Amino acid sequence: MFDSDSDKIIGKYEVLWIDTPNSRAVCERYSSTGSTVLIPEYVFAVGHNTEFIIAKQHPTNGFENGYKIDKSKTNYFIVDIRNKSKVFGPLNKSNFSKKVSELNIGGIEFDQTYPEEM
């Protein structure tokens, strides 16, 4: 059974899942029926301003294995929406903090959240 849902982040960017919420990813929409995955599953927290999107992700074991979420690992990502959707990540928390400082990103909160366990 095919099911899906999405939540807009900003502009052409959205949090999207297809078939199962465990496949939740950050995507860039390029048409009414198509998008490109920028940050793979399982995205559980997102924040943004007009220049950047930040996200937290627990990796999964992929489609073939049912998208089982590995909560023991948290990856951080930054999408530079000023620069052709350049993605920095996966980063650990320390490297994420350094990159946030380097890119002079301030004041973004992880205010779009999803359950960490499905």
pTM for this structure? Answer: 0.93
> For 37-64, what is the mean pLDDT?
95
How does the average pLDDT of the chain come out, rounded? 93
Provide the terminal-to-terminal Cα distance of the chain, rounded to the nearest Å.
Answer: 18
Average pLDDT, stretch 60-81? 92
CB 54 within 8 A of CB 43: no
Q: pLDDT-based confidence at 94, cuts 50/70/90?
A: very high
- Residue 28 scores a pLDDT above 70: yes
Burial 70-104 (b: 16+ CB within 10 A, else e): eeeebbbbbbebeeeeebbbbbeeeebeebbeeee
Instruction: Tell me: cis bond preceding 90? Omega within 30 of 0 counts.
Output: yes
* Residue-level pLDDT at 116: 84
